[in-house]
Structures are given as C-alpha cells and as structure tokens.
Amino acid sequence: MGKSNKGKYGTNRKPLVSVIIPAYNEEKVIEGLIDSIKKQSHKRIETIVVDDASVDKTVEIAKKFTKLVFTRRHAERSVQRNYGASKAGGEYFLFLDADMELTSDVVKECVELATKNAKIGAIVIPEESVASNYWEKVKAFERSFYNIEGDKITDAARFFPREAFEKVGGYDESITGPEDWDLPDTIRNIGYKIGRINSIIYHYERINSPFKIARKKFYYALKSHRYLKKQNISTFGPKTVYFLRPVFYREWVRILGHPVLSLGMFLMLSLELVYGGLGFFIGKFTNK
C-alpha cells in the first residue's frame, strides 16, 4: 500500500507535480514538450518555464499553455531550475529540457514509485534519442548503450520529491554541466535511494556537427573539477573517460554489427574527450 496523500493535497488527492523547463530560443521544440505534458495520464501538473531572455517566440508560445513563465537573464541551467523550483507549488519536481517529449505515463509512474517508497529521493527516466541526420544517429547510437537499460555511471535523475530536493539545497549553482549527476549523487549521499521507471522520454538530439557537441563539452567541463572534487570522483575514470565505460565492452557485438555508426561514435567520443579534457584543465588551473 502506498502512503496516502494528505495535508495540503487533501486525503487521497493526487499530488501536484511541478514540471520545470529552462529555455532559451526554443520556439521550434517547446510546444511539442508542453503538449506532451498536457497529455499525461497524471493530470495534476503545473508547468513552469524559466526563460533566459529568448529573442524568438519561446515565451509567446509558452504563455499559450501556462501562466507560469518567468525570465532569468544570463542564468545557467542550474540557476533557472532552482528559480523554477522556488516558484513551484508541487510535492514533486520534474526537470526537463525543451527538446524533449514525454510518453503518456511518465509522470504517473514517477508519482506511483515515489509514493510507494519514501526512501526514494530521485528517479531516473529512460531516454530514447530521436535522430534525423547522421551525427544525430551517431549520438542516438551511443546513448542507446546506457539510456534504455540503465547504467549507473551515466544515469541522471530528473524527478525528485520536493523534500529531498530541498534538503540538499537543490542544484549546485557553482556547477554547470555535471549538475545533472551532482544532484542525485548528493541526494544519495544523505541516505536516499535512486529509483527508475519504465516509461521513456523522447530526446531530440539537434546535432549538425560533432564539433558542436565537442564545444558544448568544453564549456561544461570548465567547472567539472568542482563536481569531481565534491563527489570524490577520480579525474581519470569511467565517469570522465568514455572509453573506460564497461558498457561498450559488454556490447562489443553491437559495435561490430554497426561499423558506420560505431566509427562515427568513436570519432565523436574522441572529440568530446579532447575538448572536455581541455576544458577541465583550463577550468581547474584558472579556478573557473
């Protein structure tokens, strides 16, 4: 038996889930995401969009679906997410990127799992990449090794009970990039467990060049030394060096079976490793 929802939510009333979306110039994708939120089988949802002063129609589109649209200029993703949480009324928080879409039971499964087990402080939602060009298909191929079946090294939770989120102070705003890993790690460190559901999120990759994702990796890596130090993680390990991840060696048959995608994957991962390593050392030695 799951615990009953009482207090401000009323006896047996479905809990309110606050979906929080940081955004910047997302007019091409945000309507699809919000529409998928509206179609959730769990209906008690509020949608909060925190926009970084977009110059396109992101805000205009978002306001067609929700009144909870806020602006935080020149704010990193962690700041946007925490700001959205500060405006939220839900018992649970779900943090999404604008280029995602939910399958219909994502929120329902998260709520059911969280209400049945009070020890769960974060929930991982599997992601399935949606790709159209070659490099998007390469990234989708890479993610397929760990996203659907799960991989403790790369899993990043998106759904949190408000209580657990607030106990650790939300996202660490001094970290950009690895904050997706840092928050669930920190929640786990204070005694909570990390759960996982079966319903998936579709993630639109939007990659037209391996150098685009490598440059993003460089930017995120500038502050990654803070995450590694905080969580006591080795600089050289499977978390940071992609080719040390056991999942690739366990699935060597798949790699050999898709030589064209595998070649692109190893090229992309090599670029990410070089750019990420450069960003890490520059950030560490310049105290970014």
Task: Indicate if the pLDDT at residue 9 is higher than 90.
Answer: no
What tens digit of pLDDT does each residue of 29-64 get? 999 999 999 999 999 999 999 999 999 999 999 999
Is residue 80 very low, low, confident or very high in pLDDT (cuts 50, 70, 90)?
very high
Q: Distance between CA atoms of 269 and 276, rounded to whole angstroms?
A: 10
Q: Distance between CA atoms of 283 and 288, rounded to whole angstroms?
A: 5
Q: Work out the burial of residue 19: count CB atoms within 10 Å of its CB; fewer than 13 is exposed, 13-18 middle, 19 or more buried.
A: buried
Side-chain half-sphere CA neighbours of 67 within 13 A:
0
The 8 Å CB, 24+ separation contacts for 214-218 are: 214/268, 214/271, 214/272, 214/274, 214/275, 214/276, 215/275, 217/272, 217/275, 217/276, 217/279, 218/275, 218/276, 218/278, 218/279
Take residue 153 and report the two structure tokens written for it.
């090294």
Q: Distance between CA atoms of 2 and 215, rounded to whole angstroms?
A: 45
What DSSP string describes 177-228? Answer: STHHHHHHHHHHHTT-EEEE-S--EEEE---S-HHHHHHHHHHHHTTHHHHH
Q: Distance between CA atoms of 127 and 141, rounded to whole angstroms?
A: 12
* SS3 label, residue 80: helix
**What pLDDT is recorded for position 8?**
43
Task: Indicate if the pLDDT at residue 10 is higher than 50.
Answer: no
> Strands across the sheet with 193-196, in order?
69-71, 45-51, 17-23, 92-95, 159-161, 120-124, 193-196
Domain with CATH 3.90.550.10 in the chain: 7-208
Per the CB < 8 A criterion, the answer to whether 204 and 99 are in contact is yes
What tens digit of pLDDT does each residue of 172-210 get? 999 999 999 999 999 999 999 999 999 999 999 999 999
Q: Distance between CA atoms of 85 and 104, rounded to whole angstroms?
A: 23
Residue type, 213: I
DSSP secondary structure code for residue 73 in this structure: T
Q: Distance between CA atoms of 108 and 197, rounded to whole angstroms?
A: 10
* SS3 label, residue 39: coil
What tens digit of pLDDT does each residue of 98-112 get? 999 999 999 999 999
> Residue 13: beta bridge partners?
none
User: Greater confidence, 83 or 8?
Assistant: 83
**What pLDDT is recorded for position 12?**
62
Is residue 148 very low, low, confident or very high in pLDDT (cuts 50, 70, 90)?
low
What tens digit of pLDDT does each residue of 250-275 get? 999 999 999 999 999 999 999 999 99
Residues ≥6 apart with Cβ < 8 Å to 218: 275, 276, 278, 279
Q: Which CATH superfamily is domain 7-208 in?
A: Spore Coat Polysaccharide Biosynthesis Protein SpsA; Chain A (3.90.550.10)
Q: Are strands 100-102 and 45-51 parallel, antiparallel or unpaired?
A: unpaired
